[in-house]
Amino acid sequence: MERKLYHGTAYYPELWDERTMEEDIRYMKEAGINVVRMGEFAWAKMEPEQDKIDLSFFAAIIRKLYENGIQTIMCTPTPTPPIWLSHNHPERMFVDAEGRTMSHGARQHACTNHPFYRERSRMVIEALAKAVGRLPGVIGWQTDNEFKCHVAECYCETCKGLWHEWLRARYGTIEKLNEAWGTQIWSQLYQSFKQVPQPVRTPFLHNSSLSTMYRMFSRDKIAEFQDKQLAVIRRYSDAPITHNDAIGFQSNHERMFANLDFASFDGYPNTDQYMILLMNYDLWRNVKPGVPFWVMETSTSHNGHLQGYQKTHKNGFLTAEAVAAYALGAQGFSYWLWRQQRTGCEQPHGAVLSAWGKPTVGYQNVQRTEQARKEIEPLILSTKPVQAELAITWSDSAKVFFQTESLENLTYQSLIVDWYTMVAETGLHRDLLFENADLDGHKVLMSPFMPYMSDAYLERAKAFVEEGGIWIVGPMSGGRTEEHTVHMDAGLGKLDELAGVETLYTFPVTDTGTVGHAFGEAAGLSLWSALFEAKGATVIGTVEGGAAPETTFLTEKRVGKGKIVMLGSMPEGEQGRTLLRKLVNRYAEEAGVTVRSEASVGTAVAPRISADGSLYWFVINMDGNGGCVILPRQGVDALMGEPVPAGRLEVGPYSYRAIKFISTHTMY
């Protein structure tokens, strides 16, 4: 990859004729597109009949684009196997939890664990990597497309066999599985691995361990499939490889990126959902430390398909989305898609050009975005994002645990979005980190909504605290073991002792009139809660009313140079949010967090720093209402060159500013 900001688009040359492609390239140059992504659904173009693989079409188009200054991210075409693979072979297809076998005609209809599919995938990828892997235009690779975006666990016979192998590898003997899962319950007791069912229909719920482990198994296998793709590609290409992931997909995101080279994600927010965008930027920036991430797909105006669509963006939003991405760590910003689909189920999806080759309603926003990209590129390339000092853990295991145990129809994703939004409202800058991420440089670590915390995670968090960090645990964290069972030593396992509490009661407090008091605020408590008695910790939050009035829901305990803060319950409503913001602010202050900014709601600040230590603030209005930020001291408008006084700085609707402060490492 070159040292520049990429402005890209998904492109499907296999769908168009040569004349149209000429027109496309002309338009791309006009719009400032310097990279395309292609090939992810083109297996049938590459291998229309079994064993008749021909990649010359794609090699030619890559060359042609390159001659026109447009580089390529090449995809493996595995989400859409050709009809010769699927026709008359139901045993190769994906089967859902209801036992329904998928048909050819859409995407992800094959079982990615079937040996024939695996072997044919390997063959076409190998041919592809050979054919284009060293082409100068190819600057990167993408595996497949949105692994597990439409489907979750497969229940076919192949998977059943692999599931039994996986269990054997994990537990060794059936006795150990029986013990771990407690299968004496309801006479589930297994005599051999081959008896263990996939979690298919029962009159009531399956054992939590079985459900959770089947999800883990499925996540392991899709990562394994990707790893096999990587091995093939790397034999023929040095270009870095990514996958266009999204946090809603049914995979283990940390594991999926373990062997990839750079991070990317697909983001389709509507204009009201800018906070989810920011959260994604704060996550994906940290997936591959030091390597910029990509927004691999986003819509120019709206997404859509035959059965529904999103409301069309307001003008200006797209540019704010892109500038925020670049400022918060992206190198690439790429549209889905270039030219509106002429056929198929995504005809209503927004694009850069219409199917008949004219600018769409999003086109002028693409142009503005290209202008912005050019304007900020020098600043972005000469700086890098300032690391936040506050980290929130994104836990892939938590996502699985909440799927198995959703209690009040909770989803991990929406819980985390709400939590992130609350934190963002404090003005504190923040990183979202995977469970095994390095905590160096962070001062506050938050672990909300993690039913299961691995020993390794606990160890790392403890070390973080001992060296001075403040670790805020909960709500809903720690109550389950690795096997998705209840701890036997204490309510939250080792965490009880570590945090200096005894978990007295775990139960649902929603709607029971239980009120929590802390930091001068009072708020109703909610969700499945752990209420404590302090055993070495200091009581910070007390409980009034409800079923357990003499307890505490919030404690802190000094450990080493830092502190562990236990939050056992979720303060709810506007008062609860105020209480939580006070909590965050208090511990951020105590931890000495200084990377923060004061901005009006809907306006984001991205701090960056240059090699010489100069601090920059990119200020972007994300809500279209315009807003302001308080500059802590005077600076210079880094785009206009004019001095800017300390204090209130206005920013117009969907506009952005870049302010350079005098170099100093002590203030942000």
* E strand or H helix that includes residue 617: strand 615-621
* Identity of the residue numbered 168: R
**How many Cβ atoms from other residues are within 10 Å of residue 130's Cβ?**
15
Coil, strand or helix at 587: helix
Nearer to a second copy, 245 or 405 (CB): 405
Is 179 among the residues known to form the active site? no
Interacting positions 20-49 with a second copy (CB under 8 A): 41-45, 48-49
User: Cβ neighbours of residue 293 under 8 Å, at least 6 residues apart?
Assistant: 262, 263, 264, 265, 281, 284, 285, 287, 329, 330, 331
When asked if residue 482 is in the footprint of a second copy (CB under 8 A), the reply is: no
* DSSP state string for 395-462: -HHHHHHHHH--TTT--HHHHHHHHHHHHHTTTB-EEEEETT---TT-SEEEE-S-SB--HHHHHHHH
Q: Binding segment for a second copy among 186-194, 278-286, 571-579, 595-603 (CB under 8 A)? A: 186-194
Near a second copy by CB under 8 A: residue from 355, 522, 539, 630: 355
CA distance 520 to 543: 13
CA distance 668 to 656: 18
When asked if residue 99 is in the footprint of a second copy (CB under 8 A), the reply is: yes
When asked if residue 90 is in the footprint of a second copy (CB under 8 A), the reply is: no
When asked if residue 542 is in the footprint of a second copy (CB under 8 A), the reply is: no
Near a second copy by CB under 8 A: residue from 487, 577, 582, 586: 487
When asked if residue 225 is in the footprint of a second copy (CB under 8 A), the reply is: no
- Nearest distance from C-beta of residue 418 to a second copy, angstroms: 20
When asked if residue 367 is in the footprint of a second copy (CB under 8 A), the reply is: no
CA distance 437 to 410: 25
Interacting positions 205-224 with a second copy (CB under 8 A): 205-211
- Nearest distance from C-beta of residue 457 to a second copy, angstroms: 21
CA distance 57 to 36: 15
Nearer to a second copy, 92 or 460 (CB): 92
When asked if residue 399 is in the footprint of a second copy (CB under 8 A), the reply is: no
Nearer to a second copy, 41 or 419 (CB): 41
When asked if residue 183 is in the footprint of a second copy (CB under 8 A), the reply is: yes
When asked if residue 535 is in the footprint of a second copy (CB under 8 A), the reply is: no
Q: Binding segment for a second copy among 12-20, 277-285, 417-425, 572-580 (CB under 8 A)? A: 12-20
Could you give the C-alpha distances from 654 to 303, 564, 608, 627, in angstroms and in order? 20, 40, 20, 9
When asked if residue 341 is in the footprint of a second copy (CB under 8 A), the reply is: yes
CA distance 41 to 78: 7
* E strand or H helix that includes residue 134: none
Site size for a second copy (CB under 8 A): 118
- Nearest distance from C-beta of residue 164 to a second copy, angstroms: 12
Q: Binding segment for a second copy among 325-333, 384-392, 507-515, 645-653 (CB under 8 A)? A: 507-515
When asked if residue 280 is in the footprint of a second copy (CB under 8 A), the reply is: no
- Nearest distance from C-beta of residue 257 to a second copy, angstroms: 23
Q: Binding segment for a second copy among 234-242, 245-253, 347-355, 634-642 (CB under 8 A)? A: 347-355
Tokens coding 366: 């693409």
Could you give the C-alpha distances from 418 to 27, 51, 169, 370, 448, in angstroms and in order? 40, 50, 38, 32, 11
When asked if residue 123 is in the footprint of a second copy (CB under 8 A), the reply is: no
When asked if residue 108 is in the footprint of a second copy (CB under 8 A), the reply is: yes
Site mask, a second copy, residues 135-154, x = CB under 8 A? ---------------xx---
- Nearest distance from C-beta of residue 93 to a second copy, angstroms: 10
- Nearest distance from C-beta of residue 76 to a second copy, angstroms: 13
SS3 of the chain: helix, strand, coil, percent, to 5: 35, 25, 40
Nearer to a second copy, 162 or 330 (CB): 162
When asked if residue 168 is in the footprint of a second copy (CB under 8 A), the reply is: no
When asked if residue 611 is in the footprint of a second copy (CB under 8 A), the reply is: no
Near a second copy by CB under 8 A: residue from 7, 37, 92, 107: 107
Near a second copy by CB under 8 A: residue from 18, 22, 26, 100: 100
CA distance 611 to 575: 43
Helix residue ranges per DSSP H, 49-101: 56-67, 83-86
Is 146 among the residues known to form the active site? yes
Could you give the C-alpha distances from 209 to 205, 223, 543, in angstroms and in order? 11, 21, 33
Largest CA distance in the chain: 77
When asked if residue 306 is in the footprint of a second copy (CB under 8 A), the reply is: yes
When asked if residue 342 is in the footprint of a second copy (CB under 8 A), the reply is: yes
Q: Which of 254, 297, 556, 572 is catalytic?
A: 297
DSSP state of 195: G
When asked if residue 374 is in the footprint of a second copy (CB under 8 A), the reply is: no
Near a second copy by CB under 8 A: residue from 189, 258, 417, 628: 189
Q: Phi then psi for 661, rounded to 5 degrees?
A: -100, 160
- Nearest distance from C-beta of residue 571 to a second copy, angstroms: 17
CA-only gyration radius of the chain, Å = 26
Interacting positions 285-304 with a second copy (CB under 8 A): 301-302, 304
- Nearest distance from C-beta of residue 113 to a second copy, angstroms: 15
Interacting positions 48-77 with a second copy (CB under 8 A): 48-49, 77
Give burial (CB, 10 Å; 0-12/13-18/19+) of 195.
exposed
Instruction: Please identify every residue annotated as catalytic.
Output: 146, 297
